Structure 1
Amino acid sequence: MLDEVAFDVERGKIREFAAATRAEDPVHTDAEAARAAGFPDVPATATHVVVAGHHRDQRGFVDRLGLAFERVVVGSVRWTYLRPLCGGDSLRGVRRVADDVRKRGLRFVTLETDYLDASGECAVRVREVLIERGER
Protein backbone atom coordinates (compact mmCIF):
# COMPACT_ATOMS: atom_id res chain seq x y z
CA MET A 1 0.00 0.00 0.00
CA LEU A 2 1.30 3.42 -0.96
CA ASP A 3 -1.17 5.50 1.01
CA GLU A 4 -4.71 5.67 2.33
CA VAL A 5 -7.26 8.47 2.52
CA ALA A 6 -10.78 8.74 3.94
CA PHE A 7 -13.50 11.24 3.12
CA ASP A 8 -17.27 11.63 2.92
CA VAL A 9 -19.17 12.20 -0.30
CA GLU A 10 -20.74 15.53 0.62
CA ARG A 11 -23.86 16.85 -1.04
CA GLY A 12 -22.38 20.36 -1.24
CA LYS A 13 -19.33 19.03 -3.10
CA ILE A 14 -21.59 17.09 -5.47
CA ARG A 15 -23.40 20.36 -6.23
CA GLU A 16 -20.04 22.13 -6.82
CA PHE A 17 -18.81 19.38 -9.16
CA ALA A 18 -22.12 19.42 -11.04
CA ALA A 19 -21.79 23.18 -11.58
CA ALA A 20 -18.09 22.97 -12.51
CA THR A 21 -18.65 20.17 -15.03
CA ARG A 22 -21.94 21.64 -16.27
CA ALA A 23 -23.83 18.49 -15.35
CA GLU A 24 -27.37 19.69 -15.93
CA ASP A 25 -29.24 16.58 -14.78
CA PRO A 26 -31.16 17.60 -11.63
CA VAL A 27 -30.38 14.23 -9.98
CA HIS A 28 -27.04 15.79 -8.90
CA THR A 29 -28.66 18.71 -7.09
CA ASP A 30 -32.20 17.66 -6.16
CA ALA A 31 -32.68 14.75 -3.73
CA GLU A 32 -36.28 14.28 -4.87
CA ALA A 33 -35.22 13.97 -8.52
CA ALA A 34 -32.44 11.58 -7.48
CA ARG A 35 -34.88 9.32 -5.60
CA ALA A 36 -37.33 9.42 -8.51
CA ALA A 37 -34.47 8.20 -10.73
CA GLY A 38 -33.77 5.29 -8.36
CA PHE A 39 -30.83 6.70 -6.36
CA PRO A 40 -30.86 6.67 -2.55
CA ASP A 41 -29.51 10.24 -2.54
CA VAL A 42 -27.97 12.68 -5.03
CA PRO A 43 -25.37 10.83 -7.11
CA ALA A 44 -21.87 12.22 -7.52
CA THR A 45 -20.56 13.21 -10.91
CA ALA A 46 -18.08 10.92 -12.66
CA THR A 47 -14.83 12.49 -11.43
CA HIS A 48 -15.92 13.12 -7.83
CA VAL A 49 -13.19 11.01 -6.21
CA VAL A 50 -10.58 13.59 -7.23
CA VAL A 51 -11.71 15.20 -3.94
CA ALA A 52 -9.35 12.67 -2.31
CA GLY A 53 -6.44 14.81 -3.52
CA HIS A 54 -7.45 17.50 -1.02
CA HIS A 55 -7.08 15.00 1.81
CA ARG A 56 -3.77 13.44 0.74
CA ASP A 57 -0.16 14.42 1.18
CA GLN A 58 0.50 14.63 -2.57
CA ARG A 59 4.14 15.65 -2.18
CA GLY A 60 4.70 12.87 0.37
CA PHE A 61 3.60 10.02 -1.88
CA VAL A 62 5.67 11.40 -4.79
CA ASP A 63 8.69 11.50 -2.48
CA ARG A 64 8.00 7.92 -1.27
CA LEU A 65 8.04 6.79 -4.90
CA GLY A 66 11.40 8.49 -5.40
CA LEU A 67 10.04 10.73 -8.16
CA ALA A 68 11.29 14.25 -8.88
CA PHE A 69 8.11 16.26 -8.28
CA GLU A 70 9.03 18.97 -10.79
CA ARG A 71 9.40 16.39 -13.59
CA VAL A 72 6.14 14.48 -13.00
CA VAL A 73 3.10 14.78 -15.27
CA VAL A 74 -0.12 12.79 -15.29
CA GLY A 75 -0.24 10.54 -18.35
CA SER A 76 -3.75 9.16 -17.94
CA VAL A 77 -6.55 8.53 -15.47
CA ARG A 78 -9.34 5.96 -15.76
CA TRP A 79 -12.30 5.67 -13.39
CA THR A 80 -14.21 2.39 -13.12
CA TYR A 81 -17.44 2.68 -11.15
CA LEU A 82 -18.74 -0.52 -9.60
CA ARG A 83 -21.69 1.41 -8.19
CA PRO A 84 -22.77 5.06 -8.14
CA LEU A 85 -21.45 7.23 -5.32
CA CYS A 86 -24.18 9.14 -3.53
CA GLY A 87 -24.36 11.89 -0.95
CA GLY A 88 -23.71 10.50 2.50
CA ASP A 89 -21.31 7.75 1.38
CA SER A 90 -18.09 7.41 3.37
CA LEU A 91 -15.10 6.23 1.40
CA ARG A 92 -11.64 4.96 2.19
CA GLY A 93 -9.20 5.09 -0.72
CA VAL A 94 -6.36 2.59 -0.66
CA ARG A 95 -3.67 3.32 -3.26
CA ARG A 96 -0.96 0.94 -4.43
CA VAL A 97 1.68 0.79 -7.14
CA ALA A 98 0.46 -1.50 -9.93
CA ASP A 99 3.46 -1.05 -12.25
CA ASP A 100 6.71 0.89 -12.38
CA VAL A 101 8.71 0.77 -15.62
CA ARG A 102 11.32 2.81 -17.47
CA LYS A 103 11.14 3.35 -21.22
CA ARG A 104 13.14 5.70 -23.45
CA GLY A 105 14.39 7.81 -20.58
CA LEU A 106 10.96 8.12 -18.95
CA ARG A 107 9.59 6.44 -15.84
CA PHE A 108 5.97 5.30 -15.91
CA VAL A 109 4.36 4.61 -12.53
CA THR A 110 0.88 3.11 -12.64
CA LEU A 111 -1.17 3.59 -9.47
CA GLU A 112 -4.45 1.93 -8.58
CA THR A 113 -6.77 3.23 -5.90
CA ASP A 114 -9.74 1.26 -4.63
CA TYR A 115 -12.37 3.45 -2.98
CA LEU A 116 -14.08 1.24 -0.45
CA ASP A 117 -17.47 2.07 1.03
CA ALA A 118 -18.49 1.66 4.66
CA SER A 119 -19.17 -2.07 4.12
CA GLY A 120 -15.66 -2.57 2.69
CA GLU A 121 -16.88 -3.08 -0.87
CA CYS A 122 -15.06 -1.37 -3.74
CA ALA A 123 -17.29 1.35 -5.20
CA VAL A 124 -14.77 2.96 -7.54
CA ARG A 125 -11.36 1.96 -8.87
CA VAL A 126 -9.05 4.62 -10.26
CA ARG A 127 -6.04 3.75 -12.39
CA GLU A 128 -3.60 6.56 -13.11
CA VAL A 129 -0.27 6.71 -14.85
CA LEU A 130 2.35 9.19 -13.69
CA ILE A 131 5.23 9.97 -16.02
CA GLU A 132 8.53 11.24 -14.76
CA ARG A 133 10.36 13.04 -17.55
CA GLY A 134 14.11 12.56 -17.76
CA GLU A 135 16.57 15.21 -16.67
CA ARG A 136 17.61 17.70 -19.34
Structure 2
Amino acid sequence: MSTEPDCRVGLEVAPWSYQVGREKIREFARVLGHREAWYYDREAARAAGFRDVVAPPLFAVVYGRWMEPLIMEPALGVDYRRMLHGAQEFSFGAPVCSGDVVTTTARLDGVSTKKDLTFFELSSVSLVQSEAGTALASEGRWTMIVRGGRE
Protein backbone atom coordinates (compact mmCIF):
# COMPACT_ATOMS: atom_id res chain seq x y z
CA MET A 1 0.00 0.00 0.00
CA SER A 2 1.39 3.39 -0.95
CA THR A 3 1.34 6.02 1.75
CA GLU A 4 3.03 8.83 -0.16
CA PRO A 5 2.28 12.26 1.30
CA ASP A 6 -0.75 13.87 -0.30
CA CYS A 7 -1.00 17.64 -0.41
CA ARG A 8 -4.74 17.44 0.18
CA VAL A 9 -4.40 15.79 3.59
CA GLY A 10 -5.71 18.27 6.15
CA LEU A 11 -8.22 19.73 3.68
CA GLU A 12 -11.35 20.99 5.40
CA VAL A 13 -14.51 22.33 3.82
CA ALA A 14 -16.82 25.01 5.17
CA PRO A 15 -19.00 23.72 8.02
CA TRP A 16 -22.60 22.86 7.20
CA SER A 17 -25.67 22.98 9.42
CA TYR A 18 -28.75 20.78 9.66
CA GLN A 19 -32.03 21.71 11.35
CA VAL A 20 -33.35 18.56 13.05
CA GLY A 21 -37.05 17.91 12.45
CA ARG A 22 -39.40 15.78 14.49
CA GLU A 23 -40.87 13.94 11.51
CA LYS A 24 -37.42 13.13 10.08
CA ILE A 25 -36.48 11.58 13.44
CA ARG A 26 -39.67 9.52 13.41
CA GLU A 27 -39.05 8.31 9.86
CA PHE A 28 -35.45 7.38 10.64
CA ALA A 29 -36.41 5.54 13.84
CA ARG A 30 -39.19 3.68 12.00
CA VAL A 31 -36.84 2.54 9.23
CA LEU A 32 -34.36 1.24 11.83
CA GLY A 33 -37.13 -0.62 13.67
CA HIS A 34 -36.90 1.39 16.90
CA ARG A 35 -40.09 1.15 18.94
CA GLU A 36 -39.16 3.26 21.96
CA ALA A 37 -41.73 6.02 22.50
CA TRP A 38 -39.13 8.79 22.93
CA TYR A 39 -38.39 8.59 19.18
CA TYR A 40 -42.02 9.35 18.32
CA ASP A 41 -43.77 11.16 21.17
CA ARG A 42 -42.68 14.48 22.66
CA GLU A 43 -44.19 13.81 26.09
CA ALA A 44 -42.59 10.37 26.30
CA ALA A 45 -39.25 11.92 25.34
CA ARG A 46 -39.59 14.59 28.03
CA ALA A 47 -40.58 11.97 30.60
CA ALA A 48 -37.35 10.13 29.70
CA GLY A 49 -35.33 13.31 30.30
CA PHE A 50 -34.94 14.61 26.74
CA ARG A 51 -35.85 18.13 25.56
CA ASP A 52 -38.04 16.82 22.72
CA VAL A 53 -38.32 13.77 20.45
CA VAL A 54 -34.77 12.40 20.44
CA ALA A 55 -32.86 11.14 17.41
CA PRO A 56 -31.35 7.65 17.42
CA PRO A 57 -27.55 7.90 17.67
CA LEU A 58 -27.02 6.81 14.06
CA PHE A 59 -29.02 9.84 12.95
CA ALA A 60 -25.46 11.22 12.71
CA VAL A 61 -25.41 9.95 9.12
CA VAL A 62 -28.31 12.30 8.34
CA TYR A 63 -26.89 15.51 9.80
CA GLY A 64 -23.40 14.49 8.67
CA ARG A 65 -24.73 14.06 5.11
CA TRP A 66 -22.41 11.08 4.60
CA MET A 67 -19.53 13.58 4.37
CA GLU A 68 -20.82 14.65 0.96
CA PRO A 69 -19.50 18.24 1.16
CA LEU A 70 -15.94 16.95 1.63
CA ILE A 71 -16.19 13.98 -0.72
CA MET A 72 -17.57 16.20 -3.50
CA GLU A 73 -14.81 18.80 -3.05
CA PRO A 74 -13.22 19.19 -6.53
CA ALA A 75 -9.70 19.29 -5.04
CA LEU A 76 -10.06 15.61 -4.04
CA GLY A 77 -10.76 14.48 -7.59
CA VAL A 78 -13.13 11.73 -6.45
CA ASP A 79 -15.23 10.13 -9.16
CA TYR A 80 -18.36 9.64 -7.06
CA ARG A 81 -19.62 6.95 -9.45
CA ARG A 82 -16.64 4.72 -8.54
CA MET A 83 -16.75 5.31 -4.80
CA LEU A 84 -17.43 2.56 -2.28
CA HIS A 85 -18.27 3.04 1.37
CA GLY A 86 -15.47 1.31 3.25
CA ALA A 87 -16.17 1.92 6.93
CA GLN A 88 -17.54 4.36 9.44
CA GLU A 89 -17.56 4.66 13.19
CA PHE A 90 -18.88 7.21 15.62
CA SER A 91 -18.43 8.31 19.15
CA PHE A 92 -21.44 10.09 20.57
CA GLY A 93 -21.89 12.98 22.96
CA ALA A 94 -25.03 14.96 23.72
CA PRO A 95 -28.39 13.71 22.46
CA VAL A 96 -29.79 15.39 19.36
CA CYS A 97 -33.46 16.37 19.60
CA SER A 98 -36.11 17.86 17.37
CA GLY A 99 -35.54 21.59 16.95
CA ASP A 100 -31.76 21.40 17.41
CA VAL A 101 -29.30 22.67 14.83
CA VAL A 102 -26.26 20.47 14.23
CA THR A 103 -23.17 21.96 12.59
CA THR A 104 -20.61 19.57 11.14
CA THR A 105 -17.02 20.15 10.08
CA ALA A 106 -15.07 17.57 8.10
CA ARG A 107 -11.46 16.97 7.21
CA LEU A 108 -9.36 14.67 5.04
CA ASP A 109 -7.00 12.82 7.37
CA GLY A 110 -5.22 10.54 4.95
CA VAL A 111 -4.98 9.13 1.44
CA SER A 112 -3.38 5.84 0.45
CA THR A 113 -3.45 3.55 -2.57
CA LYS A 114 -3.32 -0.17 -3.11
CA LYS A 115 -3.36 -1.47 -6.66
CA ASP A 116 -6.13 0.50 -8.37
CA LEU A 117 -7.92 1.49 -5.15
CA THR A 118 -7.56 4.83 -3.39
CA PHE A 119 -8.51 4.98 0.28
CA PHE A 120 -9.69 8.29 1.73
CA GLU A 121 -9.67 8.55 5.53
CA LEU A 122 -12.03 11.28 6.70
CA SER A 123 -13.16 12.64 10.06
CA SER A 124 -16.03 14.79 11.21
CA VAL A 125 -17.03 16.72 14.32
CA SER A 126 -20.68 17.64 14.84
CA LEU A 127 -21.82 20.18 17.42
CA VAL A 128 -25.43 20.48 18.51
CA GLN A 129 -26.88 23.89 19.30
CA SER A 130 -30.01 23.86 21.40
CA GLU A 131 -31.63 26.08 23.99
CA ALA A 132 -29.29 24.34 26.47
CA GLY A 133 -26.21 25.65 24.62
CA THR A 134 -23.59 24.03 22.36
CA ALA A 135 -22.25 20.52 22.93
CA LEU A 136 -20.48 17.77 21.04
CA ALA A 137 -23.08 15.58 19.30
CA SER A 138 -20.73 13.14 17.57
CA GLU A 139 -17.33 12.53 16.10
CA GLY A 140 -17.08 10.35 13.03
CA ARG A 141 -14.37 8.47 11.20
CA TRP A 142 -15.02 7.37 7.66
CA THR A 143 -13.20 5.39 4.98
CA MET A 144 -14.21 5.85 1.36
CA ILE A 145 -12.66 3.74 -1.38
CA VAL A 146 -12.48 4.83 -5.01
CA ARG A 147 -12.06 2.09 -7.59
CA GLY A 148 -9.78 2.87 -10.52
CA GLY A 149 -7.70 5.44 -8.67
CA ARG A 150 -8.20 9.14 -8.75
CA GLU A 151 -8.83 11.51 -11.62
Regarding TM over 0.5, the answer is yes
SS in 1 for 2:120: strand
TM-score, reference length from structure 2: 0.77
Matched, 1:9 2:15: no
- Unaligned runs of 5+ residues in structure 1 are none
- In the aligned structure 2, how far is the partner of 1:26 from the partner of 1:34? 7
Opposite residue 129 of structure 1, the aligned amino acid is T
Distance 2:140 2:14 in 1: 14
Q: Where do 5+ consecutive residues of structure 2 fail to align?
A: 1-11
Q: For the residues of structure 1 that align with 2:57 and 2:72, how far apart are their CA atoms?
A: 26
Matched to 1:113, the amino acid is S
> Is residue 70–residue 106 contact of structure 2 (8 Å, CA) maintained in 1?
no
Quote the Cα distance in structure 2 between the aligned partners of 1:114 and 1:77.
13
Find out whether 1:35 has 2:46 as its counterpart.
yes
Instruction: Describe the superposition over 1:26-48 as per-residue Cα deviations: whole angstroms up to 9, x where unpaired.
Output: 11011111111111211101221
Note if contact 1:71-1:133 (Cα within 8 Å) is conserved in structure 2: yes
Judge which range, 63-72 or 106-115, deviates more.
Answer: 63-72
Aligned to 1:132: 146
Partner residue in 1 for 2:124: 113
| Distance in 1 separating the partners of 2:136 and 2:69 | 22
**TM-score normalised by L of structure 1:** 0.85
Once residues 39 and 120 of structure 1 are traced to their aligned partners in structure 2, the CA distance between those partners, rounded to angstroms, is 15
Q: Which amino acid aligns with 1:126?
A: G
RMSD: 2.3
Alignment correspondent of 1:64: 75
Aligned length: 134
SS at match of 2:57: coil
In structure 2, C-alpha distance between the alignment counterparts of 1:2 and 1:39, rounded to whole Å: 32
Deviation at 1:58, TM superposition (A): 7.3
Shift of residue 130 of structure 1?
0.3
**Among 95, 101, 104, the residue aligned to 2:112:** 101
Separation (CA, whole Å) in 2 of partners of 1:103 and 1:120: 41
Deviations 1:95-118 (A, max 9, x none): 111221122332111111111122
* Structure 1 residue 4: Cα displacement: 2.3
Letter in 2 for 1:95: A
SS at match of 2:60: helix
